[in-house]
Structure 1
Amino acid sequence: MKKLVWIFSIILVLGLLITGCSGQSNSGETESEGAGDSTIKIGGIFNITGGQASLDQPSLNAFQLAADEINASGGVNGQQIEVISVDGKSDPATTTSAVQELVDVKKVKVVAGLSDSTYVLAAGPIAQQAGIPFITSGATAPEIPDQVGDYMFLAPFGDNIQAYAAADFALNDLNADTAWVLTDTGSDYTLGLAKYFKERYLDKGGKISLEDKYNGASDVDFSAQITRLKNLPEQPKVLFVSAQPDKCGLVVKQLRDMGVDTPVIGGDGYDTPDLVKLGGVPQTNNTYFTTHVSLGNTDGSVTKFVDAYKSKYNKEPENAFAALAYDTMYLIADAIGRAGSDDPTAIRDALLQTDGFKGVTGTISYQDGSRIPLKSVTIMKVDNGNFEFVKEVLPN
């Protein structure tokens, strides 16, 4: 009998040790400390490994930072926010199952995150079917809300707005009336961005000298496309390269290494340290991109965010996607506060009524039933490895 009691005691102790060991599951899920039934559970889906990691890891950092600040100030409606985050691993199937877990098992009230349209379109319908609001912190395809449903929102501007800004900048600021367009055909984001750039550029009088493509899932050698560019009878004045964050630097480097020094323009996927890390210095000079905010801006909201991020993580925020995720958490908290409830439908309704919410990346209003905010676009230039502010515009 004593032996049985002794064995049972060992099993009980081991069970308690295993249970209390860690808040992270095999799927890469993490939960905020101090979690409990009285908290408001907010799901964070970010690709913190794989090709999207340079955008999404900073996003998750800032998302948690904002939650910590809100909790330190008393929380929302007397409750603390609990962030439950999962890693989509830059894989659509994993992203889908991760959101399914957040919704069905963790019972989150809101889902937020992701910086690419392909992954949002994989994850969004899961939240939509469950009636859970989903705010993408970084994906920019303007078709997303209509494709997913009425619980889907964007925190950033749409790709049409940033592509229009890029086309206007090419024509008006670079005096480039001819363009080469290179597109990654393996991504909803890159396809949409190129489509909108061409639409605006041609409408404003520009001429496309040549269109070319590659598959971002597998291609790492762009010499064939660059050779076709160099063989044109007259070289275009600007190169619009619609690329993902893990490929944009490679394309720019190979262009420069093959003797092409024409200005390159891209979208917000370039707003990552990987651009210079993979592209090199000085090869990435004379490269421009559209993004959501200049983190060197001296505006009070920007400096406050930058200082808080540095204090918590001992480094500068890596890109504007961190600021977008920071804004997204505050946007969620604002909606929950106005709703007076963490009921998902009440949160969705409060989000729809958002008007004049001021964030680090601009002012968010969802007007006339739209679930995409109309925000200004920041244009940056790469100069010896540094991202320098050029201008801020709002295309008409």
Structure 2
Amino acid sequence: MGMRKKMLVLLSAMALVAALALPAGAADDTIKIAGLFNLTGGMSSIDTPGLNGAKLAAKLINEKGGLLGKKVEVIGYDTKTDQKAAATGAKKSLADGCVAGLGYGDTTFVMAAAPLYQKKGRPFVTSGATHPMLPKWVGEYMFMAPFGDDDQSYAIADYTYKKLGARKVVVWTDNSMDFTKALSKFFKERFKKLGGEIILEDFFMMGDKDFSAQIARLKKAGADAVFVSSIPNEAGLTTKQIREAGLTLPIVSGDGFDTELITTVPGPKLANDVYFATHTYREDKRPEVLNFIEEYKKEYNRPPENAFAALGFDAVGLIADAIKRAGTTDGKELRKALAATKGYKAVTGEITYSRPSGVPMKGVSVISVKNGKYKVEEVWMPAK
């Protein structure tokens, strides 16, 4: 082998060693963040806006000069509302050198992906999954941009009892999802504590299309309201079929109902007397909210579809803020910086990780839908 060839081999080897010594995603001039979302299937109406919000956040960061002198790229991975695909997507994103992961509007999919990030010592921030036990289940590298299910369930239970005056409630639960089961559990706990009564519990599964059996039992029950714990696909269908059956009692829920399907599937006439707890965002006049809406419209030629677009934006913002404060993309340092987040002015409310876990204390909006029109009825705050 000639001297020149030897030198080239040596230089190539040195470059490879240098690249391997750098933190993941830092071997080039791009900081890669994984956007793991279900862009197809039953979760797509909340996950697609989530990825759009995340990509918009990266674009605005880059317009201001990027992070640590590098560009930020949110790489989208469609995991098709499938748990196996979520695990595969997480593995691929880690192999692609993503320094952190974000995504999902549901706990089941976070639990398929985030433990792989924990194992690799890289942070994962969920943009929309709300089970308050997530950071405990996954570990110290797991953080939440949204509030916990206990907070949103307590907010809608309080509203149902105190403002709607309901005393007897029927609870419907999608029995195939961790998120929906947790939502019902916390709602029942709070409603009973207030003095209300759960007179009937009914169940369905993700993908169900016919709710006539549950509706027949609901008609006989004589309830003041029905709590429907579902993901977006079934949110629109249950609302449509309950109203088509001639039942006019209030339908109450959590953020699985924060989807355009709640009005488009039943149509504006039937989308009436629906109330749900969700992330503080709609009709909010804070500058963070107004700027986000303006930038989203500019980028996608439409207003944000729901709060999950804002949460995707916030998740990237939280990671970027931590990278800035850490001065590095090293997983350990990044985790420390995320855990130390205080008073971060997110679109969906100020975020502080003051609890011993990665669950922020935030306000919860209670939204009413009347004749297809959304209105913020109140913002509920958790007790400190």
The answer to whether the superposition gives a TM-score over 0.5 is: yes
- Show structure 1 runs of 4+ deviating over 3 A: none
Answering whether residue 35 of structure 2 is matched by residue 48 of structure 1, we say: no
Report the alpha carbon displacement of residue 143 of structure 1 after superposing the two structures with TM: 1.1
Answering whether residue 175 of structure 2 is matched by residue 185 of structure 1, we say: yes
AA at the equivalent of 2:329:
D
Q: In structure 2, how many angstroms separate the alpha carbons of the residues matched to 1:368 and 1:216?
A: 32
Deviations 1:282-325 (A, max 9, x none): 11110011110233322221111000000011001000000011
Which of residues 312, 332, 346 is equivalent to 2:319?
332
**Equivalent residue, structure 1, for 2:10:** none
Answering whether residue 201 of structure 2 is matched by residue 211 of structure 1, we say: yes
Which of residues 210, 229, 232 is equivalent to 2:218?
229
**Equivalent residue, structure 1, for 2:296:** 309
Which of residues 108, 120, 129 is equivalent to 1:118?
108
| Preserved CA contact (<8 Å) 1:295 1:306 | no
| Preserved CA contact (<8 Å) 1:290 1:377 | yes
Question: CA separation of 1:280/1:368 partners in 2, compared to 1, >3 Å: closer, same or farther?
Answer: closer
Q: In structure 2, how many angstroms separate the alpha carbons of the residues matched to 1:332 and 1:145?
A: 16
**Equivalent residue, structure 1, for 2:238:** 251
Answering whether residue 156 of structure 2 is matched by residue 166 of structure 1, we say: yes
Answering whether residue 234 of structure 2 is matched by residue 262 of structure 1, we say: no
**Which sections of structure 2, spanning at least 5 residues, go unmatched?**
1-25
Q: How many residues align?
A: 358
Q: TM-score, normalised by structure 1?
A: 0.88
Q: TM-score, normalised by structure 2?
A: 0.91
Report the alpha carbon displacement of residue 279 of structure 1 after superposing the two structures with TM: 2.2
Answering whether residue 93 of structure 2 is matched by residue 102 of structure 1, we say: yes
Answering whether residue 137 of structure 2 is matched by residue 147 of structure 1, we say: yes
Structure scoring higher RCO (CA < 8 A, sep ≥ 6) equals 2
Q: In structure 1, how many angstroms separate the alpha carbons of the residues matched to 2:87 and 2:373?
A: 36
**Equivalent residue, structure 2, for 1:275:** 262
Q: In structure 2, how many angstroms separate the alpha carbons of the residues matched to 1:79 and 1:68?
A: 12
**Which sections of structure 1, spanning at least 5 residues, go unmatched?**
1-34
* Corresponding residue SS for 1:48: coil
**Equivalent residue, structure 1, for 2:52:** 61
Question: CA separation of 1:309/1:200 partners in 2, compared to 1, >3 Å: closer, same or farther?
Answer: same
Which of residues 314, 335, 354 is equivalent to 1:348?
335
Q: In structure 1, how many angstroms separate the alpha carbons of the residues matched to 2:97 and 2:283?
A: 38
Report the alpha carbon displacement of residue 388 of structure 1 after superposing the two structures with TM: 1.3
* Corresponding residue SS for 2:268: coil
| Preserved CA contact (<8 Å) 1:156 1:324 | yes
* Corresponding residue SS for 2:146: coil
Report the alpha carbon displacement of residue 36 of structure 1 after superposing the two structures with TM: 7.9
Q: Please tell me the root mean square deviation across aligned C-alpha atoms, in Å.
A: 1.2
Deviations 1:148-199 (A, max 9, x none): 1111111100000000001000111111111111111011111000000000
| Preserved CA contact (<8 Å) 2:136 2:357 | no
